[in-house]
Chains A and B, each alone.
Chain A
Amino acid sequence: MANRGTNRTRLLWVSLLVTSLFLITLDLRGVSLVSSIRSGTQSLLAPIQRAGSNFLSPISNLFEDITNLGRTKSKIDALKNENEELKSQLILNENIVGELDQLKGVLNLAGKARFKVVSARVISKGGTGTFGETIVLDSGSNAGIKRDMTVIAAGGLVGVVKSTTATSAVVLLMSDPSFRIGVRVAGSQDMGVLSGEGDGKFSLRMLSATGQIKAGDVLLSRGSSGDKPFVPGVPVGKVITVDNATGQLTKQGRVLGFVDLNALGVVSVVLDNVGGNPGDALVPQAPRPAPTVTVFVTPEPTTGG
């Protein structure tokens, strides 16, 4: 009897495994039913994710705040004093202020390049179990967002739109292992291909054997045909190390992205590139030192006495 039970389990198991292999085959063959199941799920999930985002935004960075506590102790003391003064002047939601800063930054970047953009809030991101680096935006095809559009933040490139529903869009982040983008070095214009590796760092491989890179070089997106999926001239990252191993046909290096992909609140999707190729105009400028103001005080002789 027990043996019959085991056989029945095995039969069930095998038939379910075959069913799952059948599903994989359907997806790999591009059957639209399978992809529409996922986009249907996204339509259902979007309102819940939006609610989750509103609920969790004050505590989503809790762990990062705890780990940075030691390093920011002195900053906290200084800010405490400043905070007391500011409290009396204005009480504003910190999240809204942060999002406004990000929005201002990204609109500055888009304005410089004359990109027509639509801004959206990040309401969710891909988690453990997906091994993919993605985010979900609260705007979709109703706002003009389509698949294969470039997504930017104040610092530069964020990723590319992977799929849309009427009210949401899934963005493949540039840190995803499957992400590839053609880049050029600002200044020398040497070209290469940048690949995501899952974390905040990226690998760069130059296309030509004569292409040179050095630490500190700024990389910009090279742009695609018809500006899809990438508009040209968007800052991508900075070269941090160059691999000088012998036997390589082309130079390779490691790159640090300009955008902190773990702290995205508001991003912009480039709908149209009105101004054409901005060239090197969007290369981030190094901060200029503020001029020191010197005040001379001459003591006046006291009268009377």
Chain B
Amino acid sequence: MTLNRLPAIFGVFMTMFLIQEAFLDRINFFIGGFSLYLAIFMAWIMQEERNSAVTTGFIAGFIADLSPTLEAPFGLWTLVLTGMSYILATNIRAALDSELSPVVMTIVTVFGSSVALILFLVFGAILGEDVGSGAYVTQEIFGNAMWALLLSPLYVPMTVTLYRLTLTARNR
């Protein structure tokens, strides 16, 4: 990963974070909610090579931890997304074809988002955070997965375009 890609990656995820916090969080999705930030992160990581993926995971996690409405300790999202990025970039990505189809990207994004949310809850619980009722947690995770699936025709092409824009000539 070239260092001059870092500001672009930081800028993209910071913009997504602001959109999530200021706009998407205001919408009452009738089942659970939708984290565009998480969906874009998963679709992004699928395209990155291993070293870049891990660094991007750390940056995206750090930005997610900035959320002032977050009850969990600072660093929890950083831990989860850094871990997820490594798993996706090494294990999952290696098992797939080199050319990713939109369908595969959508499936991995939906499952990846759900796994990230579950890991966040589990690590949060280990650190002493209160976890809501089973019905609430299930609704939130299922709702996010459903919206991630339904809205994938919008955000997957957008993520691919954004990712290509951040590539330097050397990366291409």
Binding site for B on A (CB under 8 A): 5-6, 8-9, 12-13, 16-17, 19-28, 34-35, 37-39, 41-42, 45, 48-49, 51-53, 55-57, 59-64, 66-67, 124-132, 134-136, 163, 170, 172, 176-178, 196-199, 262
CA A230 to CA B20, docked complex, whole Å: 31
Across the interface, A177 reaches (CB within 8 A) one of B35, B89, B132, namely B132
Q: For A134, list chain B residues within 8 Å (CB).
A: 69, 71
Q: Select which of B30, B35, B83 is within 8 A of A127 by beta carbon.
A: B35
Question: How many residue pairs at the A-B interface have CB separations less than 8 Å?
Answer: 193
Q: Which residues on B are within 8 Å of A, measured CB to CB? A: 18, 20-30, 32-35, 37-38, 50-51, 54-55, 57-58, 61, 64-79, 82-83, 86, 89-90, 117, 120-121, 124, 127, 129-133, 135-137, 139-140, 143-144
Q: Which residues of B contact A170 (CB under 8 A)?
A: 68-69
Q: Would B25 and A199 count as touching, CB distance under 8 A?
A: no
Q: Do most interface residues of chain A lie in helix, strand or loop, or is the interface mixed?
A: helix
With known contacts A49-B22, A178-B129, A129–B120 Cβ distance under 8 A = yes
B117 to chain A, nearest CB (A): 7
Grouping DSSP codes into helix (H, G, I), strand (E, B) and loop, the B interface class, with mixed when no group exceeds half, is helix
On chain A, the residues within 8 Å of B75 by CB distance are 20-27
Chain A residue contacts of B127, Cβ below 8 A = 24, 28
With A12-B54, A59-B27, A198-B133 as known contacts, state yes or no: A129 contacts B64, CB within 8 Å.
yes
Find A39's partner among B20, B68, B76, B133 (CB 8 Å cutoff): B68
- Closest B residue to A29 using CB positions: B73
B55's contact among A16, A60, A132, A198, by CB below 8 Å, is which? A16
From known contacts A13-B86, A132-B69, infer whether A45 and B18 are also in contact, taking CB-CB under 8 Å: yes
A131 pairs with B90, CB closer than 8 A? no
